[in-house]
Amino acid sequence: MSSRRSRAQSTTGSSRISDDQIIELVSKLHQLLPEINRSNGRRSNKASANKVLQETCNYIKNLHREVDNLSDRLSQLLSTIDADSPEAAIIRTLI
């Protein structure tokens, strides 16, 4: 491990990204992800980078879809209310 890190540092002088940093980021990301638990419960401490990344991609796509749906609904809502109302202003900020 030390040799690998020193190798990384020797070859990339400027970018010294430690492995632990990456691991920490991945675990942070893992915490953000919605976990689909199994029926009998599931340990959520395992966070393989591969799975986390995959889940993140899927989750972001889902959220994109949600945002699109909600935007549609909000724009519909906006059309129904008085355009000068503060609610409209709020809604406009969201879309």
Partner 1 sequence: MHGFLPSFYKDRNMNHHVTGFQQLQEDHCSIPDSSRPKRLPTGDEDIMELLWRNGQLVVQRSTKKFGGGGEVEVPAEQLTVKGIRSTAEEQHLFMHEDEMASWLQYPIDDSSFDRDLYSDLMYSAPLPTTPPPPPPPPPPPPPPLQAPVIAIAPPRPLPAQKPEFSPRFQNFVHFSRIPCRQSVEPISKPFATAARESTVVESNETPAVGRESRASLLDFRTQMNTEGGTAAVDARATGAGKLAAGTCEFTVSSSPGGSGSSFSASGKPHLQTRKPTPAEERKRKSREADENECRSEENEDYELGSDTNRQERVFAASSSKRSRAAEVHNLSERRRRDRINEKMKALQQLIPRCNKTDKASMLDEAIEYLKSLQLQVQMMSSMGCGMVPVMYPGMQRFMPGMGMGMDMAMSRPMLPFPSMQLPGSGLPNQATPAAHMGPGFHLPAFHLPPVLPLPDSSRIQAVSSLADTMLNSLVSLDPNQPRMPNFVYPYQQFPGLQQVAQLPLPQNQAAALPSTTKETGNMGNQRSAG
Q: Which of 42, 44, 57, 79 binds partner 1 (CB under 8 A)?
A: 57
Residues contacting residue 12 through CB under 8 Å, at least 6 positions apart: none
Q: Are 34 and 56 in contact, with CB atoms under 8 Å apart?
A: no
Does 39 participate in binding partner 1 (rule CB under 8 A)? no
Does 44 participate in binding partner 1 (rule CB under 8 A)? no
Residue 40 Cβ vs partner 1, minimum distance, rounded to whole Å = 17
State how far the Cα of 79 lies from the Cα of 83, in Å rounded to an integer. Answer: 7
State how far the Cα of 80 lies from the Cα of 14, in Å rounded to an integer. Answer: 55
Residues that bind partner 1 (CB under 8 A): 1, 3-5, 7-8, 11-12, 15, 17-19, 21-23, 25-26, 28-29, 32-36, 48-50, 53-54, 56-57, 59-64, 66-67, 70-71, 73-74, 77, 86-87, 89-94
